[in-house]
Copies of this chain bind each other. A is one copy, B any other.
Amino acid sequence: MARVIVDVMLKPEILDAQGQAIARALPRLGFSGVSAVRQGKRFEVEINGPADETALSDVRKMAETLLANTVIEDYTVTVES
């Protein structure tokens, strides 16, 4: 059993309206010093067996086909330590 994390974020050139809304709300709530916020998705994938290269390759394929829209989103795959 291992846990693999897939983080999916909008590509930098894509407008992130949710992140901008958060960044604009912060000063009203009394928080200063934040220049930008971007919002994305985090997936925790529990795999049977070890997080070896085969398993990570499978998770990358899942990210490409199901978890991320690679036209507008980038993803990263990491093993939770």
A residues adjacent to B (C-beta < 8 A): 1, 7-9, 19, 22, 25-26, 29, 31, 33-49, 55, 58, 61-62, 65-67
Contacts and interface: CB of A to CB of B under 8 A. Distances in A.
Given A31-B62, A47-B33, A39 B38 contact: no
A41 B40 contact: yes
A20 B9 CA distance: 21
A38 B34 contact: no
Nearest to A44: B38
A28 to B, nearest CB: 10
Contacts of A58: 31, 33
Given A25-B66, A31-B61, A58-B31, A46 B42 contact: no
